[in-house]
């Protein structure tokens, strides 16, 4: 066999291998598409559809879940309801009153489970065990419509260094630096400012629209915000739930452009666009950082780092 014939045969072999490979992939793809998994036990809820998420209206604090379990045969041996984490869905404590052990295995089971005094999202995990000790699980998330919006723990700085000086309560709370594109979302800011003439600068909440008046770097388009100190304790603050805005709405309107910050205190704020909320200062510390100055230069100075959470409602 000459070289030309060898090369010809090699090309043909490569072509055949390619065709075989494509055919194999097509066959595998078809086999995958034809797979249908039909569990022996199905858990369904009267509401929530395929997502198993039920949204309840503002002010509603009770919900009754209707649960239906069906099986291909008489195999349902044990029915349980567990509490579950609303974020991760991980199993928590078993709800003993909802547990049902069947003396004779069943092919279906229906029940209703009531949740009362809802102040936050609630997740249930339904667990069914069959006669072969196979376990079937499905979660139901009951999602409230909050009247009060909670932020997560956040950090701010009295001059932009790492976290930023500007805070927006949207998206569970966001700290921003001065280069942000979301100036219209900023609800309040912090800075080291002179509040009483003749005294040294102190860490303070500062009206975003008045930052120039306190010789602080600013952003175009910031809205007004007013502040006030409150007599609320951290325990009072923690007791405010997502479903009751009255403890915030009933507070007198704040009227100060700046108020000194102290760790552990709870402050009131209200923005130009109608948000009214509380700021809990969980920690306050100082540090040295090189930061931009109001005159355009940069210098090393002492600034403050503020840890906080907020609870906010709006008109």
Question: Could you tell me the residue range of the domain that residue 225 belongs to?
Answer: 149-314
Same domain, 202 and 269: yes
Which of 111, 143, 175 is the last residue before a domain boundary?
143
Same domain, 88 and 154: no
Torsion of CA 260, 263, 266, 269, to 10 degrees: 40
List pLDDT tens digits, range 276-307.
999 999 999 999 999 998 888 999 999 999 99
Same domain, 234 and 163: yes
Q: What is the mean pLDDT of residues 239-244?
A: 96
Number of domains in the chain: 2
DSSP states of 186-215: --EEEEEE--STTSPPEEEEE-GGGGGGGT
Confidence of residue 6 (pLDDT cuts 50, 70, 90): very low
Same domain, 91 and 164: no
Examine residue 12 and state whether it is found in any structural domain, yes or no. no
Same domain, 134 and 154: no
Same domain, 166 and 64: no
Confidence of residue 1 (pLDDT cuts 50, 70, 90): low
**Around 58, how many Cα atoms within 13 Å sit in the side-chain half-sphere?**
7
Examine residue 6 and state whether it is found in any structural domain, yes or no. no
Angstrom distance (rounded) from CA 151 to CA 277: 11
Sort strands 53-55 and 135-143 into parallel, antiparallel or unpaired.
parallel
Specify the DSSP element, H or E, that contains 299: strand 298-314
| Distances 53 to 86, 99, 102, 124, 258 between C-alpha atoms, Å | 11, 22, 28, 11, 43
Examine residue 126 and state whether it is found in any structural domain, yes or no. yes
pLDDT of residue 196: 87
Same domain, 205 and 78: no
Q: What is the mean pLDDT of residues 25-32?
A: 50
Please determine, for residue 14, whether its predicted confidence score (pLDDT) is greater than 80. Answer: no
Which of 143, 170, 202 is the last residue before a domain boundary?
143
Task: Report residue 103: phi and psi, to 5°.
Answer: -65, -40
CATH number at residue 57: 2.60.40.1930
First to last CA, the chain: 90
Q: Does this model's pTM top 0.85?
A: no
Same domain, 210 and 63: no
List pLDDT tens digits, range 90-101.
999 999 999 999
Examine residue 125 and state whether it is found in any structural domain, yes or no. yes
Same domain, 78 and 206: no
Same domain, 230 and 261: yes
| Average pLDDT score, the chain | 91
pLDDT of residue 24: 53
pLDDT of residue 259: 98
The number of beta carbons lying within 10 Å of the beta carbon of residue 169 is 24
Q: pLDDT above 70 covers what percent of the chain? A: 88
The answer to whether 121 and 86 have CB atoms below 8 angstroms apart is yes
Which of 91, 109, 143 is the last residue before a domain boundary?
143
């Amino acid at each position: 066999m000459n070289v030309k014939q060898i090369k010809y045969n090699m090309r043909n072999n490569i072509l055949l291998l390619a065709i075989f490979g494509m055919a194999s992939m097509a066959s595998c793809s078809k086999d995958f598409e034809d797979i249908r998994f039909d569990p022996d036990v199905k858990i369904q809820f009267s509401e929530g559809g395929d997502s198993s998420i039920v949204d309840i209206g503002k002010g509603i604090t009770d919900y009754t879940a209707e649960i239906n379990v069906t099986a291909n045969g008489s195999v349902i041996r044990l029915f349980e309801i567990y509490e579950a984490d609303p974020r991760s869905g991980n199993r928590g404590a078993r709800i003993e009153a909802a547990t049902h052990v069947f003396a004779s295995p069943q092919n279906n089971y229906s029940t209703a489970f009531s949740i009362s005094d809802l102040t936050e999202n609630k997740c249930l995990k339904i667990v069914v065990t069959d006669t072969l000790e196979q376990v079937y699980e499905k979660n139901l998330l009951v999602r409230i419509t909050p009247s009060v919006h909670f932020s997560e723990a956040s950090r701010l700085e009295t001059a932009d260094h790492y976290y930023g000086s500007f805070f927006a309560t949207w998206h569970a709370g966001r700290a921003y630096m001065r280069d942000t594109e979301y100036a219209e979302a900023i609800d309040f800011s912090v800075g080291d400012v002179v509040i009483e003439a003749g005294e040294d600068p102190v860490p303070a909440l500062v009206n975003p629209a008045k930052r120039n008046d306190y010789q602080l770097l600013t952003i175009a388009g910031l809205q007004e915000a007013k502040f006030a100190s409150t007599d609320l304790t951290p325990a009072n603050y923690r007791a405010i739930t997502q479903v009751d805005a009255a403890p915030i709405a009933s507070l007198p309107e704040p009227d100060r452009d700046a108020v000194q910050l102290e760790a552990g205190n709870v402050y009131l704020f209200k923005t130009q666009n109608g948000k009214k909320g509380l700021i809990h200062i969980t920690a306050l510390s100082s540090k040295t950082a090189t930061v931009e100055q109001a005159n355009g230069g940069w210098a090393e100075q002492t600034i403050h780092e503020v840890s906080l959470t907020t609870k906010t409602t709006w008109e």
